[in-house]
Amino acid sequence: MKILSKIAFLLPLAAAAHELQDNRATLVLRDPTHVSVTLYISYVDAMHRAMAPQLSPEQFLVVYAAMKPDQFEREVAKAEAKLQGSTKLYSASGKPIAISNWTWPDIWQFHALLKRRVMQAMTDPSAHVHEEPAEIRADANASEEISSLRIQFPEEFQRVLVVSYRPNQVWVDPRSWSPAIRF
């Protein structure tokens, strides 16, 4: 643990200070009772808040990058379960809509990212760290037709911009023009 504290001491505050991309969600009504949910979230920041909010960003990077694989896997699974349980969808009538089939970023790519961030902070402390938002997918299936819904995100996601739509589909035969496609 002594070496971790020494490494943490070497990490400047700028290592975790980076320009945040806006967190966003896309809700697509696929059929009358099914909504696909795609989240684009600053994953390192959200996982830091879910896994160890008591640690500074620098401490989080060092501690979790150095964590043994089995312990890291347990911690990530616990955080993902917490975030899933805190994401809520309700129909227009106020009934909860079940969210399932969650697909999270690869755990080992996340672990490797934490290690890269620590190494980058140690070798080039002045470098600007830019994290692409991570994609998280899920499905929401209601017991009734969805005319509108309300969504609530975990506090760990911070502010989320929601984009929603219902796609229009039309078949186009070979050498034929489609009907007018309106936006």
Question: In the structure, what pLDDT confidence band is assigned to residue 126 with cuts at 50, 70 and 90?
Answer: confident
How far is residue 64's CA from residue 8's CA, in Å, rounded to a whole number? Answer: 12
Give the tens place of pLDDT for each residue, 50-98: 999 999 998 999 999 999 999 999 999 999 999 999 999 999 999 999 9
Question: Is 126 part of a structural domain of the chain?
Answer: yes
Question: Is 174 part of a structural domain of the chain?
Answer: no
Question: Is 177 part of a structural domain of the chain?
Answer: no
How far is residue 131's CA from residue 163's CA, in Å, rounded to a whole number? Answer: 21
Question: Is 153 part of a structural domain of the chain?
Answer: no
Question: Is 8 part of a structural domain of the chain?
Answer: yes
Tokens of 79: 């955080």
pLDDT of the residue at 34: 97
* Residue 19 scores a pLDDT above 80: no
Q: Specify the number of domains making up the chain.
A: 1
* Residue 14 scores a pLDDT above 80: no
Question: Is 125 part of a structural domain of the chain?
Answer: yes
Q: Which residues form the domain of 130?
A: 2-139
Question: Is 60 part of a structural domain of the chain?
Answer: yes
> The whole model's pTM is what?
0.81
Dump strand ranges (E) for 17-67.
23-31, 34-41
3-state secondary structure 87-151: CEEEECCCCECEEEEEECCCHHHHHHHHHHHHHHHHHCCCCCCCCCCEEEEEEEECCCCCCCEEE
How far is residue 166's CA from residue 177's CA, in Å, rounded to a whole number? Answer: 23
Question: Is 115 part of a structural domain of the chain?
Answer: yes
pLDDT of the residue at 45: 94
